[in-house]
Amino acid sequence: MKEEIKTNYLKILENIKKACEKSNRNPKEIKILAATKKQTIEKIKTAFELGVHLFGENYVQEAEKKIKELSDLPITWHFIGRLQTNKVKKALKIFHLIETLDRIELAKEIQKQAEKLNIVVPVFIEINIGKEKTKAGIFPEDLENFLEKIEKFDRIKICGLMCLPPYKENPEEVRPYFIKMKELFEKFKPYLGEEFKELSMGTSNDYPIAIEEGATIIRIGEALLGKRPKS
């Protein structure tokens, strides 16, 4: 298992290097986020030992157990699933950043719980770049209006955008969505300050394309850690 993850990791690093060469970028600009839904503690530890220090979980309940068990490691944890408002209080106690702010009700709850905890919460705004009915996220044309609505929430710090574009067998077909995300990011960057610097996009299937189009964080699950258990 450890050798498999090591092989996968080296392949990902090589792909990052190639994508950066094609787009005239520095590989050091790219952060690998290991998406660890249903993956074991042992696999997470192996990835950490190889040099991955950023991890993402989709479910608060599952993450709680893992984060507690791995509390001795200096891991940065991002929440990357759809966050229910009734799970916000727990999420803010265990995650360093929420990648999926996608609605005003969630922003209100984050503000409320952050006030109680006396913290400021770093977030990414999730964009539904493909306008898919089955996916969460703000439509690109609604982002400006959404930003105006949450401007008053002083406990929320907007640090970037994230997206999960439509899945395509051929990753090249996803490129237009990544291009649109980069354009959106650049459009709002001047108004959101120097802390707004991350573009989280690209997964196991299409991350080289995402890097070529401006991703700073790529979310890699099975391509790094191997297959998840089905149950």
Region 201-215 average pLDDT = 97
- Residue 39 near residue 80 (C-beta atoms within 8 A): no
Region 217-227 average pLDDT = 96
Tens digits of per-residue pLDDT, 145-191? 999 999 999 999 999 999 999 999 899 999 999 999 999 999 999 99
User: Structure tokens of 210?
Assistant: 């995402």
Q: Where are the alpha helices (DSSP H) in the chain?
A: 2-23, 41-50, 60-69, 88-94, 104-117, 143-150, 175-192, 207-212, 222-225
Q: Which residues are within 8 A (CB) of 226 and not within 5 positions of it... i.e. 6 or more apart?
A: 1, 4, 5, 8, 43
3-state secondary structure of 29: helix
3-state secondary structure of 155: coil
pLDDT of residue 230 exceeding 90, the answer is no
User: Structure tokens of 201?
Assistant: 């996009």
Q: Token pair 């520095």 is at which residue?
A: 26
Region 95-106 average pLDDT = 98
pLDDT of residue 14 exceeding 90, the answer is yes
- Residue 185 near residue 201 (C-beta atoms within 8 A): no
CA distance 56 to 49: 16
Closest CA to 106 of 133, 88, 124, 123: 88
Closest CA to 82 of 65, 103, 109, 113: 103
What pLDDT score does 1 carry? 87
Q: What is the dihedral of CA 71, 85, 34, 69, to 10 degrees?
A: 20
Which domains does the chain possess? 2-225 (3.20.20.10)
- Burial category of 168 from C-beta neighbours within 10 Å (exposed 0-12, middle 13-18, buried 19 and up): middle
pTM above 0.75, yes or no: yes
What pLDDT score does 231 carry? 59
CA distance 153 to 111: 6
Region 69-84 average pLDDT = 97
CA distance 125 to 135: 14
